[in-house]
Amino acid sequence: MMKQWMTGWLGMVVFCVGLAVHADDRAQDVREAIVKVYTVHNLPDYYNPWNMRGTQSSTGSGCIIEGRRILTNGHVVRDQTFIQVRRFGESRRYQARVLFVSHQADLALLTVDDPTFFDDVEPLSFGELPFPQDEVNVYGFPVGGDTLSITKGVISRIEHQQYVHSSVPLLAVQIDAAINPGNSGGPAIVDGRIVGVAMQGVPHADSIGYIVPVPVIQHFFADIRNGRLDGIPSLGIVPQVLENPDMRRHYGMEEEQTGVLVAALAHGSSVDGILQPEDVLLSIQGHLIADDGTVEFRARERTSFSYYVQENQVGETLKMDVLRDGESMSLEIPLNHPMERDWLIPMEQYDILPTYYIYGGVVFVPLTKNLMRMWGPNWANAAPKEFVVQLQNNIVTEEQDEHVIGLRVLAADVNQGFHGESNWFIETVDGVKVRNLGHLIELVEAGEGNEFVEFRNPVGRRIILDRQKVKKEQESILAIYRIPEDRSGDLL
């Protein structure tokens, strides 16, 4: 898997780039709408979930659009505590605030309450999805200097890519114009109009950068039109390609039919009760799905079939042709769920505090991508393997909508003998299978009349605590470790 970096976060890979820029009048007009974004972040500590990791500062880029708004990346303002912006060619910084942020699409809208910030500037407008080999200019404030940088290149390819900020595969545009840390949120311009927002690059490749394209930006704008962010819908399925001819015959497909198999589906998802495992998806919104899971979104251009799911808003309806037991049928799918509700393990989360519960010094947390990333940039290899492997089957089931982890043990008399235990999957409490962290708390509190409470992991190992001893020591454990509450605010 290629490692990518987000271009707004300081401390990432820096490239040395030399470029001479010759600006015309249109480029000069674009410059007037470019802003530098200064952000102070305070990140949660998912290993000590009652603490924060302390403030950090970063810079990014953005541009002024209609409605006295500034468009930038979600990761530029992630976990922010204070934001300032500065217009091109000016020295004064203005305090800004977030209006909306979509961390899945890595987009954010800011505003400045001081109306003078927007004086004498023409907002930038949006173009269409560009074509490969179109010339593109990227505007921003990358590391290596403080003044505006403009780099020039061409559109290289357009297809689904995993957004580093959210781990969500969405439509992305690859460009060869140089983008570096600090460029994040800056506009990519074709013919004087925004065609995307710079977001990430591949550090060990030659001139590979990615922008959030116009269709994803417009989806974000349409989503927030009613004053709230609903997110990006998903089918809630695990698809499998059908490139093997014998596998296609096994599922009763005709020679001319193509499609993908529904290998599994998330409990409670948009398709739960409509699609079934081993259905074959033949077409979506009238577009044939190829055996490799791609669709044609423009003539001779292909990307993931999820393109036609993600162009819809949550609450809209999708048409699909399906092959079930050798019979073709047409179905309408109400896209009622944003994709994050289908995940057993949440992907990267921002602007929220960690969830935790402490009982007898044992720290219980849900397994999240944020927790895994506490093992550092190489988390995929450094985090416990039993955590990472769960990402391979990351859908909610009828029995479970959260993995609960016994993260660590805060040493105390009541938990003597368990001080070295960590990173446990909690399968049962007093013999009852745990559905989520809230359910674990219910089971612990429901058994108050019993002498002991037993936490068991999937291989049968146990942590057994004396309830009366826990009751006596709980308050002192929290005081010794300077923990304000036995659970996070969302569980109080």
Identify whether the C-beta of residue 313 lies closer than 8 Å to the C-beta of residue 334: no
Of the residues 337, 365, 393, the one at which a domain ends: 337
Of the residues 192, 226, 260, the one at which a domain ends: 226
Q: Are residues 388 and 486 in the same domain?
A: yes
Of 41, 75, 103, 403, catalytic: 75
Residue 231 within a domain: no
Helix, strand, coil tally for the chain in percent (to 5): 20, 35, 45
3-state SS of 4-42 is CEECCCCCCCCCCCCCCCCCCHHHHHHHHCEEEEEEEEE
The predicted pLDDT at position 205 comes to 80
Q: Is 45 a catalytic residue?
A: no
Give the Cα separation of 448 and 469 in Å (integer).
Answer: 12
Number of domains in the chain: 3
| Residues pairing with 154 in the sheet | 135
Identify whether the C-beta of residue 98 lies closer than 8 Å to the C-beta of residue 77: yes
Residue 344 within a domain: no
CATH at 75: 2.40.10.120
Residue 398 within a domain: yes
Please determine, for residue 465, whether its predicted confidence score (pLDDT) is greater than 70.
yes
Span 156-187, pLDDT tens digits: 999 999 999 999 999 999 999 989 999 999 99
Residue 348 within a domain: no
Residue 343 within a domain: no
Q: Are residues 66 and 209 in the same domain?
A: yes
The predicted pLDDT at position 203 comes to 80
Please determine, for residue 355, whether its predicted confidence score (pLDDT) is greater than 90.
yes
Round the average pLDDT of the chain to a whole number and report it.
93
| DSSP structural state of residue 8 | T
CATH at 254: 2.30.42.10
Mean pLDDT over 291-301 rounds to 97
Q: Are residues 23 and 126 in the same domain?
A: yes
Give the Cα separation of 175 and 147 in Å (integer).
Answer: 22
CATH at 469: 3.20.190.20
Please determine, for residue 9, whether its predicted confidence score (pLDDT) is greater than 50.
no
Identify whether the C-beta of residue 38 lies closer than 8 Å to the C-beta of residue 56: no
Of the residues 273, 304, 337, the one at which a domain ends: 337
Mean pLDDT over 188-206 rounds to 93
Q: Are residues 273 and 386 in the same domain?
A: no
Cα four-point dihedral sign 333, 339, 340, 346: positive
The predicted pLDDT at position 202 comes to 87
The predicted pLDDT at position 5 comes to 52
The predicted pLDDT at position 206 comes to 82
Residue keyed to tokens 């040395």: 16
User: Which of 123, 154, 137, 119 shows the shortest CA–CA distance to 24?
Assistant: 137
Give the Cα separation of 249 and 223 in Å (integer).
Answer: 41
Of 79, 106, 321, 342, catalytic: 106
Q: Are residues 217 and 241 in the same domain?
A: no
Q: Are residues 300 and 368 in the same domain?
A: no
Exposure of 28 in the CB half-sphere (CA atoms within 13 A)? 4
Q: Which of 12-26, 80-94, 408-422 has the lowest mean pLDDT?
A: 12-26
Q: Are residues 264 and 303 in the same domain?
A: yes
Look up the domain containing 435 and give its range.
357-491
Identify whether the C-beta of residue 398 lies closer than 8 Å to the C-beta of residue 436: no
Q: Are residues 132 and 192 in the same domain?
A: yes
Question: What pTM, to 2 d.p., does this model score?
Answer: 0.91
Residue 367 within a domain: yes
Mean pLDDT over 264-280 rounds to 96
Q: Is 250 a catalytic residue?
A: no
Q: Are residues 170 and 249 in the same domain?
A: no
Q: Is 75 a catalytic residue?
A: yes
Of 166, 184, 234, 304, catalytic: 184
Q: How many CB atoms lie within 10 A of CB 115?
A: 8
